[in-house]
Structure 1
Amino acid sequence: MLWLNGRLVAAAEARIDPADRGFLLGDGLFETMRAVDGRIPLLARHLARLRAGAGTLGLPVPLGNAALADAATALLRATGLRDAALRLTLTRGPGPRGLLPPAELTPTLLLAAFSLPSPPPPARAAIVAVTRRNEHSPLSRLKSLGYLDNLLAVRAVREVGADEAILLNTAGRLACAATANLFLIEGDTLLTPPPAEGVLPGITRAIVIEQAARLGVRCLETALPPERLRRADGAFLTSSLVGVRALVAVDGEAVAGAAPHPLAQDLQAAWQAHGCES
């Protein structure tokens, strides 16, 4: 069961126009959200990011936040899922051949719900050379539909036995993981690359920064060379579905003894207490 353009439809009956610009050009945005016990604790933050990205692209969002919240609730009820991963996809809708959009837009809005995956083990990552984050592009700070760089990165690290990819930017500095934001721990300080380094401003990333301040932990957004990761006292990844995931190895070498850092565990507990876990 899906929610598509204002109504619930069976997945087998759902239809996206073959001329949809999201399908043809990647002209759109998406948000992946965590539902807990039938509610979406961080929905307002996800919709705020969606609207900000849509503003950058000149892409109208055809429904208000209340209507989108109702659609998500209706989909969860229809699927019978209480704890779920929800994906909201927005495209510019169908248009003529070519890059320029039509004068009159009919955006496509799609909501899909999936069972939450089991919590993953601590991450073992590799720094990839096959692609880079382009910090000069505004798209690096949007959750846009074009994810082929991320796909190439994940494929590359799976070939060397890692389960997550660390991407550098065009200057050779740390940016993020293929599906998560990156944090380092040095002493009693958190470090994370800022959005200007080609980083998506993640929802859980923002919560971790807020919760670190409440715990009295200093957090700096700063440019980071790869060597800082290898000699860090700890590291972790953040994403909306997993929360805080310890990073224990990079390029086959242990990060700080390959044990999850206690601060990462504290921040995961703070993320759960913030309402992201039932």
Structure 2
Amino acid sequence: MTEGATGDGDDGSSRLFHVDGDLVPADEATVNVRDRGFMYGDAAFETLRAYGGTVFEWEAHADRLANTCEALALDHGLTRRGLKSRIDRTLEANDLEDAYLKLSVSRGVQPGTLDPDPEVDPTVVVYARPLVRGGLDGEPVFEGPATVRTVETRRVPDACLPATAKTHNYLPGILARIEAREADPDADEALLCDADGHLAEGATSNVFFVSGNVLRTPSLDGPVLAGITRRVVLDLAAEEGIPIEEGTCDPADVREADEAFLTNTTAEVRPIGTVDGVAVGGGPVTQLLSRLFDRQVERACYR
């Protein structure tokens, strides 16, 4: 990520974070060491992006957070409006209009046993940092296309942890990134396969590629997170009449593609430069979808 992307080297020490209903300075923004989010990764989160002070696709993120909490049997008792208010207050307190946001909800402090107590006093944290402007007059968060490596680390099967659950337990993604950067120090992202060796997703992204003018991406029938940006891009492609195929894919399909890109909330639509050392790059479909995404952001948040 570029210096400019995060606010010209801002280290966050002067910012305020929202912790359990209060805005507190960064050096006081702490959680209890007995919090289950810290002890077990027993917490749900959403990464969001604000453009011009407006949280993009808030309702979709709120829906996914609710689905994660349902998968975790985490009944936090908070309203959607209440959570959004905490985000808005965090943006306002930090005088941020264009920002990266992370909303986390844990089961809170409970006795130090693996079994969760159904009575929950949740820990809720909103973290924010500045980003560059998005939309039609915006700048990319990352410099240049992504360097991607396929890794041996596998995506956790749905039978172990549902792909719909976006939790604090991100160890497979961390191990995948470590493996990718051991293979190539310049790697930006790791591509994970499922237990059968079929392509699933990036450590923090969804994967798209174009073959024969068809836009392809791994199906949500596999262990693939239903990314918010993924869904927006698919909607935009459908509106443009671009042929779409969601199904079973392999890493070789990406390496042999005409063009390929990654999607996530922060990076939006980012071309893939190389996969496992093989040049792929963006192309006309990637460029079109990136422009359409910028236009939608502009319309929804800036105008």
Give the TM-score normalised by structure 1.
0.94
Retained in 2: the 8 A contact 1:135–1:196?
no
Q: Which runs of 4+ in 1 moved over 6 A?
A: none
- Give the AA of the match of 1:143: K
Q: Secondary structure at the match of 1:97?
A: coil
CA distance in structure 2 between the aligned counterparts of 1:249 and 1:111, rounded to whole angstroms? 35
- The answer as to 2:85 corresponding to 1:65 is no
Contact 1:191 1:221 in 2 (8 A): yes
Tell me, yes or no, if the aligned pair for 2:67 and 2:164 is still in contact at 8 Å.
no
Partner of 1:196: 221
Deviations 1:132-182 (A, max 9, x none): 002333333321111111111112222213221111111001011111000
Equivalent of residue 148 in structure 1, options 168, 171, 194: 171
In 2, are the aligned partners of 1:92 and 1:108 still within 8 Å (CA)? yes
What residue in structure 2 maps to residue 239 of structure 1?
264
Q: One-letter code of the match for 1:248?
A: G
CA distance in 2, matches of 1:153, 1:17: 29
In structure 1, C-alpha distance between the alignment counterparts of 2:165 and 2:117, rounded to whole Å: 22
Structure 2 residue 292 is the aligned partner of structure 1 residue 270: yes
Kindly indicate whether the alpha-carbon contact (under 8 Å) linking 1:2 and 1:75 is maintained by their aligned counterparts in 2.
yes
Aligned to 1:133: 155
Alignment equivalent of 2:192, drawn from 160, 163, 167: 167
Deviation of the 1:114 alpha carbon: 0.7
Could you give the per-residue CA deviations for residues 169-224 of structure 1, whole angstroms, max 9, x where no partner exists? 11001011111000111122111112232111100000011111001012121011
Q: Retained in 2: the 8 A contact 1:236–1:245?
A: yes
Residue number among 72, 75, 82 corresponding to 2:97 in the alignment: 82
1:124 partner SS: strand
Alpha-carbon separation, structure 1, partners of 2:157 and 2:250: 15
**Shift in Å, 1:225:** 1.8
Q: Which amino acid aligns with 1:121?
A: G
1:55 maps to 70
Secondary structure class of the residue paired with 1:141:
coil
- Are the equivalent residues in 2 in contact too, given 1:20–1:95 (CA < 8 A)? yes
Question: For residue 121 of structure 2, what is the aligned residue in structure 1?
Answer: 106
- Check the 8 A contact 2:36/2:42 in 1, yes or no: yes
CA contact (8 A) 2:100 2:266 kept: yes
Q: TM-score, normalised by structure 2?
A: 0.86
Q: Is the 8 A contact 1:51 1:61 kept in 2?
A: no
Query: What does residue 27 of structure 2 align with?
Result: 12
CA distance in 2, matches of 1:150, 1:134: 10
The worse-fitting range, judged by mean Cα deviation, of 12-21 and 33-42 is 12-21
Shift of 1:77: 1.0
2:48 is aligned with what amino acid? M
Task: Identify which of 169, 173, 176 aligns with 2:201.
Answer: 176
Counterpart selection for 1:34 from 49, 54, 62: 49
Q: Is the 8 A contact 1:135 1:199 kept in 2?
A: no
Where does residue 157 of structure 1 map in the other structure? 180
* Contact 2:193–2:201 (Cα < 8 Å) also in 1: yes
Are 2:173 and 2:204, in contact at CA under 8 Å, matched by a contact in 1?
A: yes
Query: Tell me, which stretches of 5 or more residues in structure 2 are unaligned?
Result: 1-15, 133-140
Match of residue 60, structure 2, among 4, 23, 45: 45
Q: How many residues align?
A: 274
Residue 163 of structure 2 aligns to a residue whose secondary structure is helix
Residue of structure 1 aligned with 2:232, choices 207, 227, 247: 207
Larger displacement relative to structure 2 (13-22 or 239-248): 13-22
Deviation digits for residues 232-278 of structure 1 (CA, Å, limit 9, x no counterpart): 111110001111111121111112xxx42111111111111222674
Which secondary structure state, in structure 1, belongs to the residue aligned with residue 117 of structure 2?
Answer: coil
Unaligned runs of 5+ in 1: none
AA of the residue aligned to 2:190:
A
Aligned partner letter, 2:162: L
Shift of 1:15: 3.3
Contact 2:150-2:191 at 8 Å conserved across structures: yes
